[in-house]
Amino acid sequence: MIEIDPLMGLRMINDGSVSLLSTRREGKTNVSTVSWQMPLSQDPPMLGISLTPSCLSNELLRESGEFVLSIPDASLIAETHYCGTHRGDSEDKVRSMQFRTMRARKVIPLLVTNCIGHLECAVRDVYPFGDRLFYASRVVAALVEEDYFDNGWNENAQTLHHLGGDRYKTGGGILDAKKWPLPQQMPNLPPLF
């Protein structure tokens, strides 16, 4: 695992993949699945996540102000789905899912090292939106398994994408837009404006 620039780390969520959210307070760690996350800013590098107010992760996050987004690959589909459909109040999901963890570089929550990438984040603002809370957060550190990342996910990375319910898909092949020709410009057309 290598550390990369937090701005480059935002590319880990550009594809809309599912993340595992790790929160921690006073030795209590919870891991839940997050499908609604997005980059917000490049300078400083920031992202946003949307959470249900009643979940344990929300409680721990509001108290600690820090979290880790870990990016699972397809090998963790069962664990990822379980963490998104079961509450952490009554069980230790880290133990029951047999996740391997390690200390983060700059925040208190743990990294789920079974995953292929990690974004360590500090909350800047929280906004209520409908039935959700939206956390605008600064990325303070980013780590990635280098076999899966070349300035973005490469062909080895089979990130998960939640389609709703029990259905997920993995990323397909990677297309390089510069290798695709543009349509020929039509000659002698009048300008549109």
Section 137-147 average pLDDT: 97
Q: Tell me the percentage of the chain whose pLDDT exceeds 90.
A: 73
Section 147-165 average pLDDT: 93
pLDDT at 184: 66
At 163-191, the pLDDT tens digits run: 999 999 997 677 677 776 766 655 566 66
Q: Which CATH number fits domain 2-169: 1.10.287.130, 2.120.10.30, 2.30.110.10, 3.10.20.600?
A: 2.30.110.10
At 5-40, the pLDDT tens digits run: 999 999 999 999 999 999 998 888 999 999 999 999
**Encoded amino acid at 98, one letter:** Q
Render the burial of 150-174: b for 16+ CB within 10 Å, e for the rest.
Answer: eeebeeebbbbebeeeeebeebeee
Two tokens at 4?
Answer: 């990369």
Q: Which neighbouring-strand residues pair with 120? A: 68, 141
pLDDT at 91: 86
